[in-house]
Amino acid sequence: MWSSHRAGRSRRCRRTAWWTSCLQRSPPPALGAAAGRSDYRCLPGGGPAAPKEERMRATELFVPTLKEDPADAEAVSHKLLVRGGFVRQLAAGIYIFLPLGWRVLGRINQIIREEMNAIGGVEVSMPTLHPAEVWQQSGRYDAIGSEMFRLKDRNDRPMVLAMTHEEVFAWLAAHELRSYRDLPQIWYQIQIKFRDEPRAKGGILRVREFLMKDSYSFDLDFDGLEVSYNKHIVAYDNIFQRCGLKFYRVESDPGMMGGATAHEYMAPTPAGEDLVALCPQCGYSANLEMARSIATPPEPYAPGTIPEEPAEVETPERRTIAEVSEFLGIPASSLIKSLLVMTADEQPVLALVRGDHELHEGKLSRVLQQEIRPAHPDEVRGILGVEVGFVGPVGVPQRVRVIADECLAPTGPGGERPYVVGGNKAHVHLRGVKLGRDLSPAYADLREARSGDQCPFCGGKLGVEQVLEVGNIFKLGLKYSVPMKANVLDESGKERPVVMGSYGIGPARIAAGAVEQCHDERGIIWPKAIAPFDVYLVQVQSQDDLQTEVAASLHDALELGGLECLWDNRQERAGVKFADADLIGCPVRVTVGKRVSEGLVEVQPRAGGARQEVSVSDVPEVVKGLLA
């Protein structure tokens, strides 16, 4: 497979430095008992590498650990991955993976491959440099902004660096799939993607060049898509589980990917950038962009503070909910927040949410089916004739669409009740306004769900948690197959577009998420399946012949047993080796020290638990027990 891959590659890349793309595109090492040592060299000159010393010694592996946190790191995973010698930063959002980091990715990728293959996926490798036409054909060349790297080749031909591969996979499908008999297909790759993030951050959490497993399913109809989608759910559940990650599968916004249904796989960690709502009772879970919930009823207001009929009240210099609430002695939940936004086609829309709630712009945008932005203060004055802070929904010009959050409806949790709103007049608010009577807005789910809300399905109490997106799955439908003309003939000989799905996983995010979830003050505690090595073998005295002999035999015995072992044979003091062992975080440490003359070595799990003295011959068994 390796040789044929190379042959194909070199033909295409003859005139350029073919090995650069080869390096980038070479599949990461398959690890495990059968793989490992000499299989992955991809250097100029190519060919199988010369046989290498069998044992993995620390003195030969490049592991530049650091005592101090790097100054530019904030996230725990960033600090530990840099300190542990897993990665180095080349530029903003561009990272080098060092041997240890690459091994971790290799293990993750291997798990991904096994699970993708198990659902019938087949692996391919797509270019990361695309002619712009392909993206023009789908319309995304114009739809996507400066987040796409764009460049020109020597002939001035516009090119792009791939942010994702829907177009190219659809292109391939269009060219090669002819008949319903060719379907279904699941094609995947583990490939570099480029996104010119406006702001890279968090070490390897949010970067501009990154590895991604992406797969694409091709089916004859939507029932087929359903099957492919569900297969991916199975594969993804297995992948994240095997990687030792705590994760949720949540409903997500299909967004610009198009299509109807989408889920995201989320690893809970404070380093994450997303929020999800979770119901512990029935398992409902959704990205906050989507999350439905039932608001807690508004607090009761003191009798007499809000009249039953609209009445103006002077509220000098009281512009915010907090100020008005305090000034009038009325709970924030009895106020209505009126927010003017502008749609992409410059139409004003007034959004209403309860005073103690937050408008979710994404939800509003979805309701309006276009992008929105908050109106500028002078636009507010121009359209409503009043300064921000006193805007209200009563008596707004006809051309302003008014949409209220559904919890404000008379049928909502607050029932039919009077609210306080902006007076649309400087320094004036309006008390006693009832929706349905004094105004009849459209209703929609506009508010951001929050902790303590009721689950819309079972009534349980929703929690909101911070999470890192590690994977996503989308039902694309015909969004790409139609413009890319990916059609096949069905049984009746009629041409129809294939139904697509697309599915992503960020291997480096799995790694970073695992570090965020599993570490202590001394370093990383890798989940067993994705650690760079299973065993960190410390030889306390590197000059001691007996220790050397025993360490070597232990290394071999462990490897024979299918375990990967890093032998720390460096001429360092014991403390240094222990500290590095803790920092690097392999699941088991085996220490060959003083008592080796009695035939005893130490075995200690990194995650905690007893350090035990074990006779040399029992080590493989004991270690296997710990890794089971």
Partner RNA sequence: CGGGGCGUAGCGCAGCCUGGUAGCGCGCAGCGUUCGGGACGCUGAGGUCCCGGGUUCAAAUCCCGGCGCCCCGACCA
Which parts of this chain interact with RNA (CB under 7 A)?
65-72, 74-75, 78, 83, 89, 91-93, 140, 143-145, 147-148, 163-164, 195, 197-202, 206, 255-257, 273, 361, 522, 540-541, 573-576, 578-583, 591-596, 602, 604, 611
> Could you tell me if residue 244 is left (phi over 0), alpha (psi between -120 and 50 degrees) or otherwise beta?
left
Q: Closer to RNA at the Cβ: 412 or 471?
A: 471
Shortest CB 274 distance to RNA, Å? 7
User: Do 185 and 227 meet the contact criterion of CB atoms below 8 Å apart?
Assistant: no
User: Do 204 and 96 meet the contact criterion of CB atoms below 8 Å apart?
Assistant: no
Q: Closer to RNA at the Cβ: 69 or 556?
A: 69
Q: Are strands 401-405 and 442-444 parallel, antiparallel or unpaired?
A: parallel
User: Do 523 and 80 meet the contact criterion of CB atoms below 8 Å apart?
Assistant: yes
Write the CB contacts of 230 (distance below 8 Å, at least 6 apart in sequence).
none
Shortest CB 399 distance to RNA, Å? 24
Q: Closer to RNA at the Cβ: 92 or 118?
A: 92
Shortest CB 619 distance to RNA, Å? 13
Strand partners, 451: none
Q: Closer to RNA at the Cβ: 516 or 582?
A: 582
User: Do 424 and 394 meet the contact criterion of CB atoms below 8 Å apart?
Assistant: yes
Shortest CB 341 distance to RNA, Å? 11
Which residues in 73-184 belong to E strands, given as ranges? 87-91, 94-97, 122-123, 129-131, 150-152, 158-161
Coil, helix or strand for 492?
coil
Q: Closer to RNA at the Cβ: 144 or 159?
A: 144
Amino acid type, 150: R
Shortest CB 371 distance to RNA, Å? 7
Q: Closer to RNA at the Cβ: 19 or 216?
A: 216
User: Do 510 and 205 meet the contact criterion of CB atoms below 8 Å apart?
Assistant: no
CA distances for 15 relative to 10, 12, 21, 130, angstroms: 9, 8, 12, 17
Q: Closer to RNA at the Cβ: 316 or 575?
A: 575
**305: closest CA among 332, 345, 339?**
332
Q: Closer to RNA at the Cβ: 437 or 611?
A: 611
Q: Closer to RNA at the Cβ: 433 or 616?
A: 616
Q: Closer to RNA at the Cβ: 180 or 533?
A: 533
The token pair that represents 620 in the structure block: 């493989």
Q: Measured between alpha carbons, how far is 221 from 352 in angstroms, rounded to an integer?
A: 41
CB neighbour class for 394 (10 Å; exposed up to 12, middle 13-18, buried from 19): middle
Q: Measured between alpha carbons, how far is 340 from 14 in angstroms, rounded to an integer?
A: 58
Supply the Cα-derived Rg of the chain in whole angstroms.
30
CA 318 to chain centre: 41
Shortest CB 366 distance to RNA, Å? 11
Shortest CB 319 distance to RNA, Å? 19
On the question of a cis peptide bond just before residue 280, with omega within 30 degrees of 0, the verdict is no
Shortest CB 269 distance to RNA, Å? 13
Shortest CB 50 distance to RNA, Å? 26
**75: closest CA among 190, 193, 207, 229?**
207
Shortest CB 550 distance to RNA, Å? 11
Q: Measured between alpha carbons, how far is 254 from 483 in angstroms, rounded to an integer?
A: 19
Shortest CB 288 distance to RNA, Å? 10
The token pair that represents 227 in the structure block: 């099957």
Shortest CB 386 distance to RNA, Å? 24
Q: Measured between alpha carbons, how far is 419 from 421 in angstroms, rounded to an integer?
A: 6
Q: Closer to RNA at the Cβ: 28 or 202?
A: 202
Q: Closer to RNA at the Cβ: 177 or 540?
A: 540
The token pair that represents 569 in the structure block: 């044979």
